[in-house]
Amino acid sequence: MRRMKRIVVGVTGASGTLYAKRLIEAITKTNYVEMYLIISDTAKTVARLEEVELSGYPVHYEENCDFTAGIASGSFLFDAMVVVPCSMKSLAAIANGHSTTLIARAADVALKERRKLILVLRETPYSRVHLVNMLAAHDAGATIMPASPPLYTHPQTINDLADTIVSRVLDHCGISHAIGSRWKE
C-alpha cells in the first residue's frame, strides 16, 4: 500500500522562523503529506522574539533530544528533510556528522540514506567557517538554499516575502502548490 509522503522539518535558532511557519501551513493544507516537526530550544526563543507561533499544527511534534524518535533511524522512511531556518551552528553539526540533536541526527540519516535534505540557511555575512561547512554539506548531498528572497516578484507583505522561499522549498520536495507566480508562466 502506498503511504503518504513524509517530510521532516527541523526549525533551528536562526532568524526567520516565519519561513518555517509558512512552510508548515502550506504543507498541512495538502492531504497527502505527513510532517514530523522538531523545534530546537533556541528556535523556540527566536520564534517568541519574532512573534511567530509554531505550536498547534496537525503534525507530529518531536523533541530535539529524543533519539528514540522514528526519524532518528534510517529504517524509518521519509521522503525529504528541510531545516528552516538553519543556523550556522546546526549547519556545522550537519556538515560534520556531529549528531547531538535530533535535527542533526535526522539530517545525518537523510544524507546517509541519500534522501533529499534542504538547508535554508540564514546568516550575514558568511565567515570562511560557514562557507566551508556549506560546501561540505553540499558535497555530502544537501541542497544549500539560503533564505535570500527575490524582489523582482514585488512581494507586498512579509508573508509574500517568506513565500518566495517556501515555494522553492516545496518545489524541491515535490509538493505541488499555488504559491506566488512562476517566471514567464
Ligand X SMILES: Cc1cc2nc3c(=O)[nH]c(=O)nc-3n(C[C@H](O)[C@H](O)[C@H](O)COP(=O)(O)O)c2cc1C
CB of 104 to ligand X, least distance (A): 8
User: Among residues 134 and 170, whose Cβ is nearest to ligand X?
Assistant: 134
Rg (the chain; Cα; Å): 15
Does 14 help bind ligand X (rule: CB under 6 A)? yes
Q: What residues numbered 41-100 form the site for ligand X, per CB under 6 A? A: 42-43, 45-46, 49, 87-90
**Closer to ligand X by Cβ: residue 16 or 78:** 16
Tell which residue, 110, 57, 55, has the closest CA to residue 86: 110
Q: Which residues contact 53 (CB under 8 A, 6 or more apart)?
A: 21, 47
Taking the complex as a whole, how short is the minimal distance between the CB of residue 185 and ligand X, in angstroms? Answer: 32
Rule CB under 6 A: choose which of 13, 27, 71, 108 binds ligand X: 13
Chain centroid, CA 62 distance in Å: 14
Closer to ligand X at the Cβ: 33 or 88?
88
Are 8 and 106 in contact by the 8 Å Cβ rule? The answer is yes
Report the alpha-carbon distance of residue 119 to residue 121 in Å, rounded: 6
Query: Looking at beta carbons only, is 14 or 35 nearer to ligand X?
Result: 14
List the interface residues with ligand X, window 115-154 (CB under 6 A).
122-123
Whether omega for the bond prior to residue 150 falls within 30 degrees of 0, making it cis, is no
Q: Where along the sequence are the contacts to ligand X (CB under 6 A)?
A: 12-15, 40, 42-43, 45-46, 49, 87-90, 101, 122-123
